[in-house]
A = this chain, B = another copy of it.
Amino acid sequence: MPKIANDLDAFLTQHQSRIEGELFDFLRIPSVSAQPVHDADTLAAAEWVKRSLEQAGLAAAVHATAGHPVVVGEWRGAGPHAPTALVYGHYDVQPAEPLDLWTSPPFEPEVRNGRIYARGSVDDKGQLFLHIKALEAHLRTRGKLPCNVVVIAEGEEEVGSTNLESFIEHNTKLLAADAVVISDSSMFAEGMPSILSSLRGLSYFQLDVQGPSGDLHSGIYGGAVVNPAAALAGIIASMHDANGRVAIEGFYDDVSPFSDEVLAGMRKLPHTDDAFRREIGVKSLGGENGFTTLEKLWTRPTCEVNGMLSGYTGDGAKTVLPAKAMAKVSCRLVPNQDPARIAELFEAHVAKHTPAGVTVKTTYIHGGRPWRADLAGPIFDAAKRAVSAAFGREPVIVGEGGSIPVVGDFERILKAPVLLVGFGLPGENAHAPDEWMSVENFRLGARAMAALWDEYAGS
């Protein structure tokens, strides 16, 4: 089992209470990027990150964008022949509402039962900050890092990273790196450090069904007119077959299977369907026949209704034959499905299943590509050793059913592999009241990321 260097470990132990006090200062800034009332706070958080990077020993600057700024810190003392790593995180947070559901106020961090409760504690201030402190441990102990490191922290992750792709494209020299490291995800379970091997992509649609030019009386007209809500129900029902497979023609054509190794790793994870059922509150699960739950969530594409609206939805009865019906439907995609190609297939399917008597407009709202890590190469090997050193066990390889579009952007623009290693935990309430981060994981995460640079440069 690899070990973390004694000097780094000693620094982080010695400065533990100061570091956690600084984190609390960071968490007190209500940098809610979605709420213009917090624009000054969001800017204050960017300035705070800049100062924190400088305190750690990096040169840092706040870069204006069309939205919230991007903070970049650099330490290039390892020279042009050493590798360069780029660490990404975000300093903005989700809105804290509904406030009355918080046990302690969202911007007054508090430790209870080994957890730091605050908005942004795990998503992503705590995880960004543990990287800064890992760098500080190197620079304050040894005066140098074994590789060059650039840190980029954005303030728009919670509002779609609107300006980040363009910032990366316009700053490829500043951000050029041999590897990208992101800690903005969770471990599979307590005590089980995890590296993310894949993300699903997305194609999100709105369907607008138009029947008669106005709402009709369902008594006077019912039975001779195609009902737009029933037509929409038929279209939605046509999207799956009896085995739970997506029935859109060509939908699976580009799906590239996961490696046996990754699939075998998933089967070893301590997942039970019973616990999963209890977590979400259902009596039985669903989805595509022939796959385990984790395979369904991480390795298989989906087609899910996100919303539906038609006619009268208030109390009691209104005998209306609605003129319109609307649905939001989105597909999660896996490698190598292409969101735009899926949009074409989806539209064709809808058109084919639209009955005469109504028209359907399919709007492709947005999409994102799926992503899969190579899980090979220096940064992954280094991460496995560094995480093992800090946590005392090898990281497991996990998938993720959601999407993080910026991962693909970094990989594509910088042509560098992306390592996703996160220190959150299931149930951490990242976007909900009572968000928390484990104190233990914050401490071990900082040690793992400090060890990462030794392992990366030594590999």
Contacts and interface: CB of A to CB of B under 8 A. Distances in A.
Give the contact-size bracket for chain A: 35 or more
A308 B313 contact: yes
Nearest to A235: B233
A322 B307 contact: yes
Contacts of A355: 286
Interface in A87-126: none
B310 A305 contact: yes
A297 B240 contact: no
Contacts of A172: none
A317 B224 contact: no
Contact of A219 (B200, B230, B285, B366): B200
Contact of A287 (B225, B304, B311): B225
A60 B280 CA distance: 65
Given A307-B229, A309-B308, A328-B311, A288 B318 contact: no
A221 B401 contact: yes
B286 A224 contact: yes
A288 B224 CA distance: 7
Given A223-B332, A237-B233, A317 B366 contact: yes
Given A219-B200, A311-B328, A319-B306, A282 B229 contact: no
A305 B227 contact: yes
Contact of A317 (B223, B227, B239, B365): B365
Contact of A240 (B213, B230, B319, B358): B230
Q: Which of A224, A321, A356, A365 has the most chain B CB within a 10 Å cutoff?
A: A224
Contacts of A402: 217, 219-220, 319
A202 interface: yes
Interface string A265-306: 000000000001000111111111000010011001110111
Nearest to A238: B237
A223 B302 contact: yes
B218 A285 contact: no
Q: Which of A204, A213, A225, A309 has the most chain B CB within a 10 Å cutoff?
A: A225
Given A230-B240, A240-B230, A285-B357, A403 B219 contact: yes
A21 to B, nearest CB: 33
A36 interface: no
A237 B308 CA distance: 15
Contact of A306 (B221, B225, B320): B320
Contacts of A234: 233, 236-237
Interface in A38-67: none
B306 A308 contact: no
25 contacts: A202-B319, A212-B281, A216-B280, A220-B297, A222-B302, A222-B401, A223-B287, A223-B302, A224-B296, A226-B285, A226-B286, A227-B286, A230-B240, A234-B236, A236-B237, A237-B237, A284-B357, A305-B310, A306-B311, A306-B317, A307-B310, A307-B311, A308-B313, A316-B365, A319-B330
Interface of A: 200, 202, 204, 211-214, 216-227, 229-230, 232-234, 236-240, 276, 280-288, 293, 296-297, 300-302, 304-313, 316-322, 325-328, 330, 332, 355-359, 365-366, 400-403
Given A202-B219, A308-B311, 16 more contacts: A212-B282, A218-B306, A219-B332, A220-B401, A222-B401, A223-B302, A226-B287, A229-B236, A229-B327, A230-B240, A233-B237, A282-B358, A286-B357, A306-B320, A308-B308, A312-B328
